Structure 1
């Protein structure tokens, strides 16, 4: 029961926060070098890679290793591969999704071995991120890729969705993720657009403070983190306008928050 003048959030364990970046389009190698120290995690998009992408990924692992930033594989499906994911479709079955993920993550895993900087986590990206959050069979398929590449790796996803349920079933460590640059629906799932809009400084500060102080994933509609969540990774997508500015701002807010709790944001 709450005491007078207190809120439920006040009585729950203080959240521990980290900063992550979904690295895809929008930021180049030079940009990344300027913000790598602001990150705890970098989620590297993996799909069919061109020669230039492979060179960039190699650079990412080198930077991450030098700066003790954890690297995760972030597989996604192309529009062609996504066709037929609607109910009743047989195109993207759980078996096919697992095969896609194993193939895509495998390439990144090989580069990680070369740099002696193992993958620390796996998460999906884009439309399949949302689909796996809603569809239990697809979520199970996505999570099943984790132990194949590392027995100690984490699955990053959305709390109170099939992501979390699938990790519990598979006994895989789960790290809840929250997107500062996206809006959410009533189910606590981000609304992913083809082209992300900009986010103001004030919006970033307000959203981060609402999350950390009141456990609010979204204000409108109001959605809160589940009570059993004790840590959260605050994510920025590299395709969001001025992503570099947002990352730096989130890092400053997270450092202030974690120092108040005695936590070090990088000790995850």
Structure 2
């Protein structure tokens, strides 16, 4: 039977402001990418989400980012490699405290936003992320785009690489994500997202924005938690996968 992990970005609030419906999304996903305070999140939010994830048997992942609260981690930044490595390790360590307190642990690492896209091609920044993960825990899997420099360097360093696809993002012919500033970068039709999810899980392919069919073999499927109707959409995706014979389970 085909199987796939469902992950979502959670804990993306700050103080009294909340962006994601963490409680409801944690009834659907199998892996939770928890914001670690650099693009979103704060200690109380991180603790709450870790407790909920542990209670529901959802794997906890550290969603590391550039230090960019004002830009939600989606602005391009140039951070010296040694500094970036230290900041990645710092974020993982902070989340680990709350995961351990909840009776769980940080099970993987996933970059967020501008950092995620940067490490697809940038060997220096990708290497810094890998160095940060190694500093925090040299056994942690790293989640990223198939073929990215990040996953190549993670694999070389002995960190398990985990390939990921996006149900609600448009793809280029090269298998990368269409930048958010471009028209059609985010899929808004719920049925299209559901069908794409099933297509990715079954065929390991996706239709690019140009119409070309490209290979995107992924062990995990990302469902963004900050889009309108995210909870209902996530439920529809999981139901469609399961009724179509796809087993939904964590990759670790």
Same structural fold, with TM-score higher than 0.5 when normalized by the shorter chain: yes
More helix by share: 1
Once structures 1 and 2 are overlaid, which stretch shifts more, 160-169 or 189-198?
189-198
Q: TM-score, normalised by structure 2?
A: 0.83
Give the SS at the match of 1:19.
strand
Report the CA distance shift for 1:253/1:138 in structure 2 as closer, same or farther (over 3 A).
same
What RMSD over aligned residues (CA atoms) do the two structures have, in Å?
A: 3.1
Query: Deviation per CA, 1:138-194, whole angstroms, max 9, x where unpaired?
Result: 112112222333343210000111122112211111111111111122221223426
2:201 to 180, 188, 212: 212
Q: Is residue 157–residue 163 contact of structure 1 (8 Å, CA) maintained in 2?
A: yes
Matches of 2:92 and 2:119, distance apart in 1: 16
Matches of 2:126 and 2:47, distance apart in 1: 29
The equivalent of 1:126 in structure 2 is 113
Report the CA distance shift for 1:134/1:15 in structure 2 as closer, same or farther (over 3 A).
farther
Report the CA distance shift for 1:101/1:194 in structure 2 as closer, same or farther (over 3 A).
farther
> How many residues matched?
243
Once structures 1 and 2 are overlaid, which stretch shifts more, 121-130 or 185-194?
185-194
Q: How does 1:163-174 map to 2 (within 5 A)?
A: 163-174=150-161
Q: How does 1:171-186 map to 2 (within 5 A)?
A: 171-186=158-173
Q: Is residue 87–residue 132 contact of structure 2 (8 Å, CA) maintained in 1?
A: no
The equivalent of 1:265 in structure 2 is 249
Q: Is residue 70–residue 120 contact of structure 1 (8 Å, CA) maintained in 2?
A: yes
Q: How does 1:72-221 map to 2 (within 5 A)?
A: 72-77=61-66, 78=68, 85=77, 91-193=78-180, 197=186, 199-221=188-210
Structure 2: 5+ residue runs without aligned partners?
A: none
Matches of 2:221 and 2:72, distance apart in 1: 30
Give the SS at the match of 1:21.
strand
Report the CA distance shift for 1:159/1:100 in structure 2 as closer, same or farther (over 3 A).
same
Q: TM-score, normalised by structure 1?
A: 0.78
Matches of 1:148 and 1:67, distance apart in 2: 29
Once structures 1 and 2 are overlaid, which stretch shifts more, 209-218 or 64-73?
209-218
Query: Deviation per CA, 1:237-261, whole angstroms, max 9, x where unpaired?
Result: 122221112211121133234xx36
Matches of 2:53 and 2:113, distance apart in 1: 23
The equivalent of 2:229 in structure 1 is 242
Structure 1: 5+ residue runs without aligned partners?
A: 1-13, 86-90
Is structure 2 residue 38 aligned with structure 1 residue 54? Answer: no
Once structures 1 and 2 are overlaid, which stretch shifts more, 160-169 or 128-137?
160-169
Matches of 1:143 and 1:248, distance apart in 2: 33
Pair member with larger Rg: 1
Report the CA distance shift for 1:163/1:62 in structure 2 as closer, same or farther (over 3 A).
same
